[in-house]
Structure 1
Amino acid sequence: MPYAPGTRRRRISLRRVLWAMLAACALADCGSSLRPFRLLVEVHVAARANQNSPIPVTLLAVYDQKLFERLSEMSAKQWYDQRDQLRRDFPSGDAFTEWEWEFVPGYTPPPAVVEIPRNANALVFANYRSPGPHRIRLGPHQRIRIDLEGEDLSVTTLEAAERSR
């Protein structure tokens, strides 16, 4: 069935208009809520932390609210025991993203920058030898310091730490 005269031209024009709108939206910063935010993470490790043993630390960005609630109830030991299965249960990376480090007592590593999607909730697990949850939920901060102390961890926003000096 042949097109009416000018039909093809209209389709191309509509396509051009859509592309122009998309480009304008990108220039005007539309969709910025979907862009990740950069989180600056500083880590301080106490000299005799974790019975003078390395401390595995995982930062999770969790996109699925039900999974986040489940993980928020886990201790670090449970996370490290179940993480391989969780990776198999959620293989595509659609449910969570993780960053892993291992820190030696007394060592101060350089700051790390991670990009966390704005629709994610974040958690930090530290695998201490001592009993306890060793888990902290993170708020929407841009700069944090994780203090790996003798028997547990704490998180401070750098803005708050700088104000208290």
Structure 2
Amino acid sequence: MSLRRSHAALAFPLALLLLLGACADKPAAWLNTVSFTVAPAANDSTPVAIDVVSIRDKALVDQLTALTAADWFAKREQYRRDHPSTLDIASWELVPGQKLDAQLPSDREAAWAILVYANYATLGPHRLRVPDTRTLSLSVGDKDVELAP
């Protein structure tokens, strides 16, 4: 009888670990709203193009996180054509001094990762990986974009 109890005692934690492991291998990134606050002198006082990219193909995550914003904007249309069902791209052109609250479409699927690319005139990666959150606040500064508190 004690042998059966020890097997049962081991079976439950093992089943729990398997269940948790299965849940960890599913896309979970989801974003509902994005708020932008643009500095008055952002991008040398010129508009800044911003893309929020939801990646639903796990194999693309490393590839896209390696791109700078300049690379992304140069290759964006090709990525859109090559991956029409696994990339969601929301785009804005923001002007210096602007504040904007944007709602993202609710019919999207969960993603493996969400990236922000800001097309600044200056050199730099100008790329962010969005933390697990439903609401994102971005500060579009003079020379780069960053997460706002």
1:75 is aligned to 68
SS, match of residue 89 in structure 2: strand
Query: Percent identity between the aligned chains?
Result: 27
Paired residue total: 122
Per-residue CA distance 1:23-60 (angstroms, 9 max, x = gap): xxxxxxxxxx8999552211000000000010000000
Amino acid at match of 2:125: P
**Distance change (3 Å), C-alpha of 1:126 and 1:38:** closer
The answer to whether the 8 A contact 1:36-1:117 is kept is: no
1:46 is aligned to 39
Q: Which runs of 5+ in 1 are unaligned?
A: 1-32
User: Which of 48, 55, 58 is residue 62 of structure 1 equivalent to?
Assistant: 55
The answer to whether the 8 A contact 2:113-2:130 is kept is: yes
TM-score normalised per structure 1: 0.68
1:120 aligns with 2:112: yes
> Any residues of structure 2 matched to 1:120-139 within 5 Å, and which?
120-139=112-131
1:98 is aligned to 89
Q: Which runs of 5+ in 2 are unaligned?
A: 1-25
Structure with higher RCO (Cα < 8 A, 6+ apart) = 2
Hey, what's the Cα distance between the residues in 1 that align with 2:38 and 2:50? 11
TM-score normalised per structure 2: 0.75
1:151 aligns with 2:140: no
Moved over 6 A (4+): 33-36
**Distance change (3 Å), C-alpha of 1:123 and 1:34:** closer
Provide the alpha-carbon RMSD of the alignment.
Answer: 2.0
The answer to whether the 8 A contact 2:27-2:56 is kept is: no
User: Which of 116, 141, 148 is residue 133 of structure 2 equivalent to?
Assistant: 141
